[in-house]
């Protein structure tokens, strides 16, 4: 089970590195031209020192073998259940934001119900058997929310 967790973390790390490296630079902005690291139409980063092998191995050893400290809440997270009717009953000039866990958010803004980054499974992962587990149940019954104005 730990091996799957390490593979998952490695994939996420590589994805983040690719996204970071592939971010475009806007060359036609004059403040870029004045940077000491900007030359010939591109940014040149100072080279990083090569990591020492002992440091890399000690990091990997700690990651694989040591228990994680404070990885789970020490007390139950307070949970307020949300119903579709609660949102409908809010006045249209009232705004509300609900955090549903992980990175999922439910908004009511200007009378519209907006759902961002829905994640209603038990794990924050594309796989049901690896990835971090929820700390609490989903605070709503998603079947009741058939009328979402902006699902994302």
pLDDT digits over 99-139, tens only?
A: 888 888 999 898 888 998 888 888 888 888 888 888 888 88
14 falls within a domain: yes
Residue 31 pLDDT exceeds 80 = no
Q: In terms of domains, do 50 and 90 share one?
A: no
* Confidence tier at 18 by pLDDT (50, 70, 90): very low
Rounded Cα distance between 62 and 130, Å, is 20
Q: In terms of domains, do 53 and 100 share one?
A: no
- pTM comes to 0.52
Q: In terms of domains, do 50 and 91 share one?
A: no
Rounded Cα distance between 136 and 73, Å, is 10
Task: Output the pLDDT for position 23.
Answer: 43
Rounded Cα distance between 122 and 31, Å, is 47
**Domain with 25 in it:** 2-65
Number of domains in the chain: 2
78 falls within a domain: no
29 compared with 27, residue with greater pLDDT? 29
Question: Tokens in use for 151?
Answer: 């699902």
142 falls within a domain: yes
What distance, in Å, lies between the first and last C-alpha atoms of the chain?
31
Q: In terms of domains, do 102 and 135 share one?
A: yes
Last residue of a domain, one of 35, 65, 95: 65
Q: In terms of domains, do 102 and 142 share one?
A: yes
Q: In terms of domains, do 100 and 50 share one?
A: no
77 falls within a domain: no
Q: In terms of domains, do 96 and 58 share one?
A: no
Q: In terms of domains, do 147 and 88 share one?
A: yes
Task: Output the pLDDT for position 10.
Answer: 59
Task: Output the pLDDT for position 20.
Answer: 47
């Amino acid at each position: 089970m730990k091996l799957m967790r390490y593979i998952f973390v490695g994939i996420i790390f590589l994805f983040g590195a690719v996204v970071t490296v592939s971010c475009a630079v806007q060359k036609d902005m004059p403040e870029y031209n004045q940077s000491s690291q900007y030359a010939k139409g591109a940014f040149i980063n100072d080279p990083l020192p090569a990591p020492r092998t002992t440091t890399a191995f000690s990091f990997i050893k700690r990651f694989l073998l040591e228990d994680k400290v404070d990885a789970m809440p020490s007390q139950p997270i307070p949970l307020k259940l949300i119903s579709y009717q609660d949102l409908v009953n809010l006045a249209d000039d009232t705004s509300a934001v609900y955090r549903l866990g992980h990175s999922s958010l439910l908004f009511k803004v200007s009378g519209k119900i907006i759902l961002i980054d829905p994640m209603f499974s038990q794990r924050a992962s594309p796989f049901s058997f690896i990835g971090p587990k929820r700390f609490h149940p989903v605070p709503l019954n998603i079947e009741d929310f058939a009328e979402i104005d902006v699902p994302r």
